Chain A
Amino acid sequence: MLYGEIELRDIPLNIPKYYQQVETFLKPFGLTVDRLLERYLGAYYNDELVGGAGYGGDVIKCVAIDPRMRGEGIVNTLISRLLSELIAKGLANIFLFTKPANRVMFEDLAFHTIICTDDVLLMETDAKSYPRYLDSLSALRTDGGSCGAIVMNANPFTLGHRYLIEQASDACDRLFVLVVEEDRSLFPAAIRKKLIQAGTADLKNVSLIDGGSYVISGATFPTYFLKTAHVATRAHARLDAMLFCTGIAPALGVTDRFVGEEPLDVTTATYNSVMAETLPAYNIQFHCINRLEKQGAPVSASRVRALIKQDKLVDTAALLPPTTYQFLCSDEAKPIIAKIKNSDSRH
């Protein structure tokens, strides 16, 4: 047994030397470090990094063990330690993002499979969480007729979003708008949702649903929240698309999925193309709706945020439904506007 000589150490990723050490260690495993990894725990043997695991938000990831050190219980120790830290933070459900080959190992470590694609495996500790989310969706389902779905972040809700929802609402008997719940955007989830609600109140066949942890979240699509395109974006988009096709869409009875055309943002464009490839096999129609244009350019939330950043709040009125514009002019929006002015985030 080597066990006594294994030493666990926190690896401070904010120090470039250590960041590079982790990057080099993970490379042979086909894993990459990203900005969303907030904590990394290393297992050292004779001062050499032989194993590690980390987390960002409620997702454990970048778990890797030197093949020479397998069978020593190092993964158990690493995962146990990270789990207890996350549990101490008060998280009820903890996710794990890993490779499909690790499925059996993690099923023995308190994790349950949510979905497995060719490239990635997503698991969670709470065996009931995903089935319960699907049950809650099934309760909203109405059979017969066409049922559309749109996933949107709406950061914030613009006339472009409104146009997409109108097109979909016209084309379907019923339309579900799934709102991205992950709080990594400049506009908090509760406000994004409130503005969509206010801006679509007149459309009677539209219902809003919380995306929860299973629709574009830090667990299903971590790279969505990174500023730049990432090598893993396609694999993550595929995982999210598979969850939609195999779980969410059947639970809601979705027949049609709508997305907005994406000429600029690489991540969203990748997501759209993966959706277009995946949906037909599950008998879901894919519709890509052209962008609404105003003043010679597509209306987008990033254009609105750019105007706010340039102190041109008045100019956003032409791009926004009155409900969103009124919100931006209210006191409640002041901290968000201040945040936008100080940020260079994609979100």
Chain B
Amino acid sequence: MCQITKKSYAGSLESSDVLVQISPNPGKGLEIDLKSTVKRQFGNAILATVNDVLREFDITEAFVSIDDKGALDCTIRARVSAAVCRAAALTDYHWKVG
């Protein structure tokens, strides 16, 4: 299991990007707060992607705040992965190619 030890940020608030914030959430499991300009259309899809990345890293306890400005799926994946690596102080992440 991967531990979130500190607050981290990844991404930006520019159009087509997403700002991801992850912080420890002691004793409160996973909590995701989603704000998106396209929440009505893609809110569930965004949450599915975020949950998917968190599962890959085996994160079971974290507060994740997402401020989405219409990012593509691959962007969301990249931003959440980067935020997790920073918040869990992971340095040996192998970025998949292709």
Contact = CB atoms under 8 A, between A and B. Distances in A.
A92 B6 contact: yes
Interface stretch (A38-46, A122-130, A197-205, A260-268): A122-130
Nearest to B24: A128
Contact of B19 (A73, A92, A110, A128): A110
Given A92-B6, A110-B19, A110-B67, A83 B12 contact: yes
Given A80-B13, A109-B67, 20 more contacts: A76-B14, A77-B14, A80-B12, A83-B19, A84-B12, A92-B7, A93-B7, A107-B35, A108-B35, A108-B37, A109-B13, A110-B19, A110-B21, A110-B35, A110-B65, A125-B9, A126-B7, A126-B21, A127-B63, A127-B65
Contacts of B67: 108-110
Contacts of A109: 13, 67
14 contacts: A73-B14, A76-B15, A80-B17, A83-B12, A87-B9, A92-B23, A108-B35, A108-B37, A110-B21, A125-B21, A127-B33, A127-B65, A128-B23, A128-B25
Given A83-B19, A127-B33, A127-B65, A110 B6 contact: no
Interface in A69-113: 73, 76-77, 79-80, 83-84, 87, 92-93, 107-110
B69 interface: yes
Interface of chain A: mostly helix, strand, loop or mixed: loop
Interface in A115-134: 125-128
**Range of interface residues on A (Cβ < 8 Å):** 10 to 19
Contacts of B17: 80
Nearest to B28: A128
B23 A126 contact: yes
Contact of B13 (A79, A92, A93, A107): A79
Contacts of B25: 128
Contacts of A92: 6-7, 23
A110 B33 contact: no
Nearest 7 A/B pairs, CB to CB: A92-B7, A110-B67, A80-B12, A80-B13, A87-B9, A76-B13, A110-B19
Interface string B11-45: 01111010101010100000001010100000000
A316 to B, nearest CB: 42
Nearest to A92: B7
A92 B35 CA distance: 20
A328 B21 CA distance: 44
Contacts of A73: 14-15
Most buried by A among B7, B37, B63: B7
Given A76-B69, A128-B23, A83 B13 contact: yes
Contacts of A127: 33, 63, 65
B89 to A, nearest CB: 13
Contacts of B65: 110, 127
B28 to A, nearest CB: 10
Interface in A231-276: none
Contacts of A108: 35, 37, 67
Nearest to A77: B14
Contacts of B21: 110, 125-126
